[in-house]
């Protein structure tokens, strides 16, 4: 079966979702403006339809965990890093150093950061939850403003406007 692609408009950009019967291969944010509605066609694999539904629930604040069949392409090390990213709880962050300790190799900080940067499954594998040791929002392929938006969206404490 060939890979199928659909596009889903989010509050922070258009998501391009690619998958087949074996699962979601990639979700990436693209800077193309699509019409405001998304359309799911019947010929898409169930995993893509489920992905759109779960992303919709996530952006509406109704979903904190994803339950999707994933099939990212990468090296064994990258997959190990990506699997560890999935253990960072919703609304929490972890530093790159903490992330390297979680995978059992505190000296691999550059390799872990590189693997995070190659994460092919946006939001569902939450690389946006990894921050610099000083608390800074460093390194995010989708742009730092999106990383900030996602962390704020997941924050249990919502910032109130004074105006």
**For residues 14 and 8, is the Cβ–Cβ distance under 8 A?**
yes
Over the chain, what HEC string results? CCCEEEEEEECCEEEEEEEECCEEEEEEEECCCCCCCCCCCCCCCHHHHHHHHHHHHHHCCCCCCCCCCECCCCCHHHHHHHHHHCCCCCCCCEEHHHHHHHCCCCCCHHHHHHHHHCCCECCCCCHHHEECCCCCCCCCCCCHHHHHHHHHHHCCCCCCCCC
* Residue 126, strand partner residues: none
Q: Residue 19 and residue 27: Cα distance in Å, rounded?
A: 9
127 among known catalytic residues: yes
Please identify which of the residues 51, 70, 112, 127 carries the catalytic annotation: 127
Residues designated catalytic: 127
């Amino acid at each position: 079966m060939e890979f199928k692609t659909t596009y889903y408009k989010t509050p922070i950009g258009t998501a391009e979702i690619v998958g087949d019967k074996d699962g979601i291969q990639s979700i990436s944010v693209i800077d193309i403006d699509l019409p405001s509605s998304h359309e799911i066609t019947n010929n898409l694999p169930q995993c893509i339809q489920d992905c759109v539904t779960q992303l919709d629930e996530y952006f509406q604040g109704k979903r904190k965990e994803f339950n999707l069949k994933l099939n990212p392409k990468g090296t064994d090390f990258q997959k190990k890093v990506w699997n560890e990213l999935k253990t960072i709880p919703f609304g929490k962050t972890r530093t790159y150093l903490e992330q390297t300790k979680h995978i059992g190799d505190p000296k691999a900080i550059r390799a872990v950061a590189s693997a995070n940067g190659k994460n092919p499954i946006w939001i569902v594998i939450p690389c946006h939850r990894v921050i610099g040791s000083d608390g800074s929002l460093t390194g995010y392929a989708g742009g730092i403003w999106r990383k900030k938006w996602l962390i704020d969206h997941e924050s249990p404490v919502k910032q109130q406007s004074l105006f």
